[in-house]
Structure 1
Amino acid sequence: MEVEVEVEMSPAAAKAAVFSPYSSPSTALLLQRRVVSWAKETGSPATVSVHVGDRSFNLHKDPLVSRCGYLRQAILRCGDGDGEVVELPASFPGGSEAFEVIGLYCYGDAVALDPFNVAAVRCAAEFLDVSGLGARCDLYINQVVLQSWDDALIVLQRCQPLLPVAEELLVVSRCVESLAFMACMEILDPDGDEQRRERDQPGLLAAAAARGLAGRRWDAELVKELAARDLWIKDLVALPFEFFRRIVLALRRQGMKEKYVSPVVLFYANKWVLSKKTHKFMASTDTGDGETDANRRATAILQGVIDLLPLESSAATGGAIPVSFYFALLARSITLELSDESQTRLRELVASNLQFARVDDLPLPEPEQDAGGQSIAGSPEVRAMESIVASHVSMQRRGAEAVAELWDRYIAQIVGDPKLRPDRLAELIGVVPAGDRKSHDHLYEAIDTYIVEHPGLSGDEKASLCGHLECRKLSHEACIQAVQNDRMPLRLIVQALFVQQLHTHRAFTECSDSFRCMHSGELLVPVSGGQAASAGVLQQLHWLHAVGIAAAVRE
């Protein structure tokens, strides 16, 4: 008697089977033919119905019981009826595609393992307690998958929906360690010719590209294009963050130099945190509140990236991470809800790189934010920078003079805001101690611009702001400009006039000494006459200072 057996599947499941990347349509067809063949050979019908998701498989009891411990126990619990129904739980890893392979194996057929299905089959075999198949999968993973970059990457990506089972079976960790090892082998140069390898070997192009970003304003889309040129980086950047994080830790553990590891972190953060195009795509594809969900994902990734970044400054890591990258992360973090721990660590990273930054790196509010009626000086961006600079000052870090000049340049960018009050400007100026400012040129420019943009200032307000200026720290050119600037208080003009005379006298003295040296051929020692002249200039200083005070009183 011919027994007709069919494997029932819904139209949606049939379509999924056709387009499944790791279960070809022939797997379902082979299983169906094998069930029919078994029925013909033994004359027994398929009495066990196994439900996996929305698909059901009508199979024979004997092959299942002989090789599958889970189904053996489930069938025993069903009793000796004419038909047993086994419903696999939703936690069954691999779904119906993996079960098709399990079914073929139970019927004694050879199973075709490949990088697309081996992880799912391994997890399914463990779940169902299929004798012998788990060991066969492990052998395939060790001898085939872990020897190839592409295969290991495919298997790792397939493990995402199989967690935590794939983790417990060490499939994830084996792939992570193998990928890290192959990456290190790609980087290692036994001949020591790093420059040649950076030029010729794809695995090193990204590191060189990252160093080439130094001194440039951060452009997330340009950086994405650079990352796409290196397939090694492109593959890692496409991974889920947890897998990516573990590979980065494995790279460091296996000895890869930080100048090669850090750019990988940089490119990952640029794509998933800094790129506006990626953010827009995630917001449009997420269900529910797309913008909120996209920000939540970006927040989680950014917090993870902050933990992966080296604590050393950009200079200490050989420029592996451009300084502008830290400030780009800072600007993005302002729009996200970072944990206090991550926010503190990010600001410490920014502070450690502050002396190497350019004013273009420092964040400012977007133009559309300015239209909201709030002063730029009260924006989260400016307040964040104010806090970071104040922290740098309090910690007495190196580069105080460079940071002071950077801060004065930054202030100059916001003094044009019509909503900026004089007392708020004074607060910003006072963030950096006067002693840290080697030159007051940029501070003078900022205050002068503020006075121009705010013509309604009173004389007292002008005098209060100009009180932060020390004319002796102005360059000769700035002094000349201050003397001729009728917008400045008279006291400042008088002080600038004296300093200008002092500069002129010093230049005249140096020129005179140089002239005498040229004609006498002797090294001249300053004589009492020069000292007397300097003393005279100092007397003029006290006189002009007194005149300035008197003028200020008259004002």
Structure 2
Amino acid sequence: MKHMKLGSKPDVFQTEGSNIRFVATELATDIVISIGDVKFYLHKFPLLSKSSRLQRLVASSNQESDDEVNISDIPGGASAFEICAKFCYGMIVTLNAYNVLAARCAAEYLEMFETIDKGNLIYKIDVFLTSSIFRTWKDSIIVLQSTKSLLPWSENLKVINHCIDSIASKASIDPSEVEWSYTYNRKKLQSKNGVDSHWNGVRMQQMVPKDWWVEDLSELEMDLYKRVLLTIKAKGRTPAVVIGEALRVYAFRWLFGSLEDAVSNGIDCTKRRAVLESIVFLLPTEKGSVSCGFLLKLLNAACLLESGEFYRDNLVKRIGTQLDGASVADLLIPATSAENGVYNVDLIMAIVEQFMSHHSDNGKMTFQDDDEIVEVEKFASVSSTSKLAVAKLVDEYLGEIAKDPNLPVLKFIALAEMVSASSRQMHDELYHAIDMYLKEHPSLSKSEKKRLCGLMDCKKLSQEACMHAVQNERLPLRVVVQVLFFEQVRASAASARSDSGADLSSAVHSLLPRENGNSYGSSRSAATTTTEEEGSGVPTSSDINSFRSMRLANNCGGSERSSTSSDINKNGEDKSTTTGKAKVMLMPKMLSKLWSGKTHVGENSSSDASVSPGSANPEEVKSTPSRNTRQSTS
């Protein structure tokens, strides 16, 4: 820290009690300076020789026969006046970053100009500020912090502007030119080229990070911090990502700490709200300059502090452009007191909607240059990757909010449907979310369960998810049948490729309904395109058990095919081949039942029943409760 010593005489100021200060000399005092409760017993001559203001005040007091002068409005108070008084006496006084501004404002108040005496206090302090304080990084920050208590004097003297310009200039230089000390506690600095800081026994100089200044400036109050950061941005030499890091550090320093406790305890959060709104205002416009997680923390704080809609909408739009960089933990924003639920799902839906609109393809732009076409294709690839990431994120988020017992099923479905089907390559996470919702909401009607499970495409479930779904008692019967069917299709296709079992493959594919004469029907059509489930199209529990037996036999087929020649039957046929033929015999009956519902849409249907009351076989209807045996079937 820089400092300057003035005067040469010893300091003979003494204190009596807490309110009396005097100069210990043989000469009697002849003037009393009163500043609040503190009284200074001094001599007129040294004071009047340096201060134009005191000359006028003493002249006025002489007319009133009063030796006491009251200057309680002096900036800096009694301590600042004492510095000025010691200078007038020629005593040794030390100026530094902590007291120099108060002394400068007090000297301005006392009018200690060069016209009164050459080399007066104002001149000496200005030289010290210009040659030392404003050239030193931390001293400039200390002086800037002290300006608030000295307003409007510090503003009128332009000390604030000089400090801000000095700080912003140093923060904007090339980091390789930084030669002064700074605070950096966020992470261990990496040395040059990523090697150890000690090489061959000689300590190597560490590289200065680009964001070296952000922690020191985070000590400023928001009004000054805002002015400094705007000046840094105006200089245009600091990357947007560094500005974003500075705001992140400041938010953790002044905003996020104990925010929830402060709100819940009813503490006045006006200052925190002002900090939040200023940070949102200062956020760089460049995408990626701040992380999505940080933006979501700001949005959560905005909800807790009940900030204006302008700030919340601003954050929602920014988050929507980079939602693919978020995590599930970031999205779990608590619901406000006015909402009936654990999480603020409506807010996340608004963010997802913003993301989808930002990544939508309008198809209206035309390009003539080949380079531009390449750029569009690259953007489309990035957009597709982002959509896949957001689809996975939404499914994981659905799995978390599904635990909320107050979450309406329609809101759950609405959020799930905001993600396009093409963005979900696998439906395992979605299945997990649906299963969790069914577990936490056992009172759902059959129609609600049907619509909920209709979100899931059984063809996009992994083998592990299929194994779990087959034994899941919470799923509707038709969904279980679909899972069994497509699992059997996969197993049969694998068997056909390994054993050249063309008969089995053709039997399976011949039973699949074709659309447009070319492609096979999707699994979702069997569960959701019909408004009602027909009794004649629902397999019985014995059919399901047959499917399971076939699946188990298929899983065991590999081991059977690898057994010794003792596994060959009397006719010389492999057991696995015999098993495959048995499957072909069973497949037509069960698969025809599975798909028969599609040919009877609208006949004897019921919206909430998975089995029609007018089923041709009442015994099959009664057999449906036997699904309880699914839990023990693998």
Q: Measured at CA, do residues 258 and 364 of structure 1 come closer, stay the same or move farther in structure 2, by a change above 3 Å?
A: closer
Equivalent residue number for residue 401 of structure 1: 388
Q: Which of the numbers 322, 336, 347 marks the counterpart of 1:384?
A: 347
Q: Which of the numbers 124, 129, 146 marks the counterpart of 2:111?
A: 129
- CA distances 1:422-473 after superposition (whole Å, capped 9, x unpaired): 3343343344455554443322221122212322222122112123233344
Report if the CA contact (8 A) 2:240-2:286 is conserved. no
Q: Measured at CA, do residues 422 and 536 of structure 1 come closer, stay the same or move farther in structure 2, by a change above 3 Å?
A: closer
Report if the CA contact (8 A) 1:331-1:363 is conserved. no
Q: 2 CA distance for matches of 1:143 and 1:309?
A: 34
Q: 1 CA distance for matches of 2:16 and 2:352?
A: 63
Which runs of no fewer than 5 residues in structure 2 stay unpaired? Answer: 1-11, 115-120, 179-188, 198-204, 361-382, 515-519, 527-591, 601-608, 614-634
Q: Which of the numbers 306, 309, 325 marks the counterpart of 1:356?
A: 325
Equivalent residue number for residue 104 of structure 1: 86
After superposition, where does 1:75-154 map in structure 2 within 5 Å?
Answer: 75-78=58-61, 80-90=63-73, 92-107=74-89, 111-132=93-114, 133-154=121-142
Q: 2 CA distance for matches of 1:505 and 1:470?
A: 19
Q: 1 CA distance for matches of 2:260 and 2:141?
A: 25
Report if the CA contact (8 A) 2:175-2:210 is conserved. no
Equivalent residue number for residue 50 of structure 1: 33
Equivalent residue number for residue 343 of structure 1: 312
After superposition, where does 1:219-234 map in structure 2 within 5 Å?
Answer: 233-234=214-215
Equivalent residue number for residue 23 of structure 1: none
Letter in 1 for 2:84: I
Equivalent residue number for residue 24 of structure 1: none
Provide the alpha-carbon RMSD of the alignment: 4.2
3-state DSSP of counterpart to 2:311: helix
What is the CA-CA distance between 1:347 and the residue it aligns to?
Answer: 2.4
What is the CA-CA distance between 1:532 and the residue it aligns to?
Answer: 11
Q: Which of the numbers 395, 398, 402 marks the counterpart of 1:415?
A: 402
1:292 aligns with 2:274: no
Equivalent residue number for residue 332 of structure 1: 301
Q: 2 CA distance for matches of 1:373 and 1:236?
A: 38
Letter in 2 for 1:387: A
Report if the CA contact (8 A) 1:13-1:54 is conserved. yes
3-state DSSP of counterpart to 2:475: coil
1:306 aligns with 2:269: no
1:488 aligns with 2:478: no
Q: 2 CA distance for matches of 1:457 and 1:81?
A: 93
Equivalent residue number for residue 211 of structure 1: none
Which of the pair has more CA radius of gyration? 2
Report if the CA contact (8 A) 1:482-1:493 is conserved. yes
Structure number with the higher helix fraction is: 1
Letter in 2 for 1:69: S
- CA distances 1:92-115 after superposition (whole Å, capped 9, x unpaired): 321111111222334455653222
What is the CA-CA distance between 1:307 and the residue it aligns to?
Answer: 2.4
Q: 2 CA distance for matches of 1:128 and 1:510?
A: 100
3-state DSSP of counterpart to 1:376: coil
What is the CA-CA distance between 1:131 and the residue it aligns to?
Answer: 0.8
Could you state the TM-score of these two structures normalised by the residue count of structure 1? 0.71
Equivalent residue number for residue 225 of structure 2: 244
Report if the CA contact (8 A) 1:273-1:302 is conserved. yes
Q: 2 CA distance for matches of 1:243 and 1:60?
A: 40
3-state DSSP of counterpart to 2:84: helix
Report if the CA contact (8 A) 2:190-2:206 is conserved. no
Report if the CA contact (8 A) 1:180-1:250 is conserved. yes
Q: Measured at CA, do residues 206 and 331 of structure 1 come closer, stay the same or move farther in structure 2, by a change above 3 Å?
A: farther
- The range that moved more, 445-454 or 81-90, is 81-90
Report if the CA contact (8 A) 2:489-2:508 is conserved. no
Q: 1 CA distance for matches of 2:338 and 2:159?
A: 55
Equivalent residue number for residue 626 of structure 2: none
- CA distances 1:186-243 after superposition (whole Å, capped 9, x unpaired): 72369xx996188867784695xxxxxxxxxxxxxxxxxxxxxx8x554332222233
Matched residues, percent identical?
30
- CA distances 1:300-326 after superposition (whole Å, capped 9, x unpaired): 222222223323333xx4xxx444323
Q: 1 CA distance for matches of 2:15 and 2:346?
A: 61
Letter in 2 for 1:128: L
Equivalent residue number for residue 547 of structure 1: 597
Q: 2 CA distance for matches of 1:61 and 1:146?
A: 35
Report if the CA contact (8 A) 2:426-2:460 is conserved. yes
What is the CA-CA distance between 1:412 and the residue it aligns to?
Answer: 0.8
- CA distances 1:75-100 after superposition (whole Å, capped 9, x unpaired): 4444524324433254x321111111
Report if the CA contact (8 A) 1:197-1:204 is conserved. no
What is the CA-CA distance between 1:141 and the residue it aligns to?
Answer: 0.8
Q: Which of the numbers 47, 50, 54 marks the counterpart of 1:71?
A: 54
Q: 1 CA distance for matches of 2:307 and 2:395?
A: 29
Letter in 2 for 1:46: D
Aligned residues: 469
Q: 1 CA distance for matches of 2:48 and 2:473?
A: 100
3-state DSSP of counterpart to 1:50: strand
Q: 2 CA distance for matches of 1:263 and 1:347?
A: 20
Letter in 1 for 2:416: I
Equivalent residue number for residue 272 of structure 1: 254
Could you state the TM-score of these two structures normalised by the residue count of structure 2? 0.63
Letter in 1 for 2:597: V
Letter in 1 for 2:270: R
After superposition, where does 1:151-300 map in structure 2 within 5 Å?
Answer: 151-185=139-173, 187-188=175-176, 196=192, 204=208, 233-252=214-233, 253=235, 255-276=237-258, 292-293=267-268, 295-300=269-274
3-state DSSP of counterpart to 2:63: coil
Q: Measured at CA, do residues 10 and 337 of structure 1 come closer, stay the same or move farther in structure 2, by a change above 3 Å?
A: farther
- CA distances 1:149-186 after superposition (whole Å, capped 9, x unpaired): 33223222222311232123222232233233334457
Q: 2 CA distance for matches of 1:291 and 1:74?
A: 50
Letter in 1 for 2:219: A
Letter in 2 for 1:446: A
